[in-house]
Structure 1
Amino acid sequence: MDTFSLILALLGLLVLFHSVLLCRILVWLSASTPPVAPPRPIPRVGEQAPIFRLWSFEGKLVESAALTHGPMALLFVSSDCNVCTEFLEATKGLPAPIRRFLVGICEGKEAACRALQSAGASEIRWLHDPEGDLRRQYGFNVLPATAILDRSHRLHAWGWIPLEDLERILEELNEEQE
């Protein structure tokens, strides 16, 4: 075997070694990466709203299925959002029969959310979503945001909804379901 053939054979072995090593590294990397859950589709108007289980400030686990007293407006707010505080203060101006359909979903530390609770109408039922998981299921990136659901939890409107529109939609849904 001449020198040239020997060099080619050694290069071939080197390439083979690198290929095997690279394959092992790729297999190791793919095995060590946790699987990523596929993103949930964002609900559309007319579709069933995401099911949730959140804690109330009273320490009770509340399931969305238990909230069937009528239509509801899920008010997504954050404890560190000044616009959210102003929005909640404005809910005090809604008629009392409408305020009973409001459900506050507060993202952030519980103590800060409890402080934010006093900014809104006293009838708001408060739930705590510390990491904003439910907000992300609705596809909200900016707060405050609202999702209006009928009694059977179908989505009727979502996003930034002015209070006069919120009031009108809740009145219409309540009349339809009586």
Structure 2
Amino acid sequence: MGTELGLYLVLGITATFVVLHSFLLLALTRAVHELRLELGVSGVETAFAPGSEAPAFSGADIHGASFSSSELVGRPTALLFISAGCDSCATTLEETQALGIKARGAVVVVCRGTTSSCAEVASTYSLPGPVIADVDGSIGGLYSISKFPTAVLIDRRGRIRTHGSPRREEIVAVVEEQSAL
């Protein structure tokens, strides 16, 4: 009987601690949110609002050639952020593959993974390129990429049109707009 009472006492104390801890975290989260509002600090949604300037980056493609975002200025581009091990990226990659050679240059795939794993993805889906290997995640970090796939559509002036889940019709529109140039 004494052991059971001790066990119930420990469980009761633990449950009380968890509830108090949850309330403390909730209060802290609310305080941080209010402070962010007071200071005018915004989240990713406004940092990449339509019309904001796209962050500049450089890196190497899967063949080792250097690539710079300055090459994108003057033409609409879809940056497609994927991960080499991303199962949910398959549909987006298949849609990009279906665009074929028309997508060349209009769709730039930024692949989070090793150069060889990104090259394997490019080969599997016959991606027309360029495919940039974001080995350390720094390019994705510039664009606050937190999930894959994510598409960032950039206009001719280097300004962001959209930032979020890839929509086939938006990517097709970028490809068609670039083809018309």
TM (normalized to structure 2)? Answer: 0.66
The answer to whether structure 1 residue 71 and structure 2 residue 76 are counterparts is yes
Q: Which residue pairs with 1:154 in the alignment?
A: 159
The sequence identity of aligned pairs, in percent, is 26
Q: Which has the higher helix share?
A: 2
1:136 aligned partner? 141
Q: Which has more radius of gyration?
A: 1
Shift of 1:152: 2.3
For residue 79 of structure 1, what is the amino acid of its counterpart? Answer: A
Give the secondary structure class of the aligned counterpart of 2:98.
coil
Give 3-state SS (helix, strand or coil) of 1:127's partner: strand
Would the aligned equivalents of 1:147 and 1:155 in 2 still touch at CA under 8 Å? yes
Calculate the aligned-residue CA RMSD, in Å: 2.4
**2:107/2:175 contact within 8 Å kept:** no
2:66 is the alignment partner of 1:61: yes
Please say if residues 85 and 119 of structure 1, whose CA atoms lie closer than 8 Å, have aligned partners that are also in contact. no
1:3 is matched with which residue? Answer: none
Partner Cα separation in structure 2 for residue 87 and residue 101 of structure 1? 15
User: Hey, which bits of structure 1, 4+ residues long, moved more than 4 A?
Assistant: 172-175
Unpaired segments of 5 or more residues in structure 1?
1-39
Cα drift, residue 162 of structure 1: 1.6
Equivalent residues in 2 for 1:17-166 (5 A)? 42-68=47-73, 70-94=75-99, 96-166=101-171
Structure 2 residues without counterparts, runs of 5 or longer: 1-42
Q: Structure 1 stretch 116-125 or stretch 146-155: which is displaced more?
A: 116-125
Q: Is contact 2:62–2:116 with CA below 8 Å preserved after alignment? A: no
Corresponding residue for 1:9? none
